[in-house]
Amino acid sequence: MLRSFGDDMLRRASTFAYVAQRYPKRAFASASSAPTEDDIQAAREWLRNFNAGSIPHSIGDVSFSRSSGPGGQNVNKVNSKATLQIPFSKLAKILPSLLVEPLRASRFYKTNSDAILIQSDDSRKQADNVNDAFKKLNALINDIGDRIVPGETSSAQRARVQKL
């Protein structure tokens, strides 16, 4: 069955239906637990201001181990692989409420330790691998934000949908 553009836009107009459609695994139990327009607006604003330096490096623990990355025999001698472990409760305090559950459902969340675990062994230097782990966390949060937080509807688009 084909849907028209207007049907699709009307479906997206409902915040609950839109978020549940974008993230079906963690669909909200009821409309009362669905995010409000204020929650979505706060998440949009937070994501606009979010950058790689927004997450403090002191929030998690970094450990080092031998890596399998580039470096020849150096990888057998030096602990250059960085493993970033951030307790989920600390990270959830920083994030908007709309992003918490999708982050918990990501492949980086470890249920046995209730933490986000990210590894990096792309470089031969420990400091570069730590920075890369935080970049991966930043990219993960931005990706979740792009998938979950609906974009703002322009007034012209609203008028077009109303006209349909």
Q: pLDDT (tens digit, 9 = 90+) per residue, 93-127? A: 999 888 899 999 999 999 898 999 999 988 888 89
Distance of CA 123 to the CA centre of its chain: 24
Residue among 2, 4, 6 at smallest CA distance from 158:
6
Q: If you classify domain 5-163 with CATH, what class do you get?
A: alpha beta
- Is 132 in contact with 84 (CB distance < 8 Å)? no
Please name every residue paired with 125 in a beta bridge, in sequence order, or none if there are none. none
Residues 52 and 5: their CA atoms lie apart, in Å, by 37
Q: Which two tokens stand for residue 48?
A: 């606009």
- Average pLDDT along the chain: 78
Buried b (16+ CB within 10 A) or exposed e, 132-152: bbbebbbebbeebbeebbbee
- Is 161 in contact with 13 (CB distance < 8 Å)? yes
DSSP letter for each residue of 125-140: SHHHHHHHHHHHHHHH
The rounded percent of the chain whose pLDDT value lies above 90 is 30
Predicted local confidence at residue 143, as pLDDT? 92
Residues 80 and 64: their CA atoms lie apart, in Å, by 6
Choose the weakest-confidence range: 25-29, 78-82, 89-93, 159-163. 25-29
> pLDDT for 140-150, tens place per residue?
999 998 888 87
- Is 136 in contact with 65 (CB distance < 8 Å)? no
Could you state, in order of their start, the residue ranges of all structural domains in the chain? 5-163
